[in-house]
Amino acid sequence: MTPAQLSRTIRQALPHVLPDGPDGEVVAPSAGDGSSADAVAVFSGVRVVVDSPPRRGAGDYATGVAFRAAAVCGRPAREVAQLLCARLEGDVDAVDGAEVVGGGFVNVTLTDDARVALLRALAEGGPAETAVLTGTTPTGPGNPVRAADPVRPADPVRADGRTASAAEALPTAPPTAPTDVPARDIPRWAAVTGEDPAVLAVRTERASSLFRVQYAHARVCSLLRNGRRLGLRPEAGSAVPLETAGARLLALLADRARVTAAGPLARHLDAVAQAFAAFHDVCPPLPRGEEKPGAAHCGRLALAEATGAVLAGGLSQLGVSAPAHL
């Protein structure tokens, strides 16, 4: 279940979370006679936003929809959130648990089966993603790359003071290449993020958001190559149960599909890269020292594989190379 799918599920559930009628029918105080049809109308304008949970809470996804729903139905936000949690836990197969955080935020945890299905879908490449790079050369045989149309960023200003068109700024989305092309990639990344090209040219994870993202992608490619040498291949079914760092990374990966504008996309890719680095540190995808290869490593490689697909797709949309080596 992606954030978009959960958003639709919550939108459908909202008119049914206030069972105050004599037969359990929904009664929304501002909905006229309290009929179900009225409740649907009352909640129809409520915007449902599902994204990654804040640091303070657990779960795969989080939403503050209860506050918006409370405003239109006249009930306390925490009460609406509690009823929504009960509805999600009771009626949605993909939801393992839902809890209220703070005054009315809802954190949702998926079942292991739902996480595995999501992981497989991300690795295969969704509508905005490319297929994951599993060979030594990303564009080589057996490594299909489905590049999406480039996102049109804000028009940059040319040296003569006139505004350059998006087509001039990003003529094409380059194919995924074995190495990056800083002279091309840095201006394109700077154009959509507003960052100083001179700062982006400092090629360290700490200094440059572009380098963080490209390095994370190259690291994924290296892990998959080295994993094959050890006889390890990604297995989504072995990825669960997810540790905290893995769950946070998966939530960010799933959230990618709704991020389409160029600037937010670049920032989201940076967040994914940082979450992957944190995951890699606490849950190494490959054995270390005398550690023997096992199913856990195959599961972690599956999460790395999905990360590579998301990063490659996002970089391609921005017209920036996704290097296999750095």
Which amino acid, 218?
A
- Say whether pLDDT at 125 is over 90: no
Sign of torsion, CA 234 236 240 244? positive
Residue 244, classed as helix, strand or coil, is: helix
Sheet containing 50-51: order of strands: 50-51, 61-63, 105-110, 95-101
Give, as one character, the DSSP assignment of residue 75.
S
CA-based max dimension of the chain: 72
Gap between the Cα atoms of 316 and 75, Å rounded: 46
Mean pLDDT along residues 260-271: 95
How many Cβ atoms sit within 10 Å of the Cβ of residue 171?
11
What's the pLDDT score for residue 310?
A: 95
Gap between the Cα atoms of 137 and 216, Å rounded: 16
What's the pLDDT score for residue 182?
A: 93
- Say whether pLDDT at 77 is over 80: yes
- Say whether pLDDT at 172 is over 70: no
**pLDDT above 90 as % of the chain:** 55
Contact 95, 111 (CB under 8 A): yes
Read off φ and ψ for residue 223, nearest 5 degrees: -60, -40
Higher pLDDT, residue 44 or 138 = 44
Residue 157, classed as helix, strand or coil, is: strand
Binned at pLDDT 50, 70 and 90, residue 164 comes out as: very low
What's the pLDDT score for residue 19?
A: 55
What's the pLDDT score for residue 44?
A: 77
Q: Please write the tens of the pLDDT for every residue from 294-322.
A: 999 999 999 999 999 999 999 999 999 99
**297 CA to centre of own chain:** 22
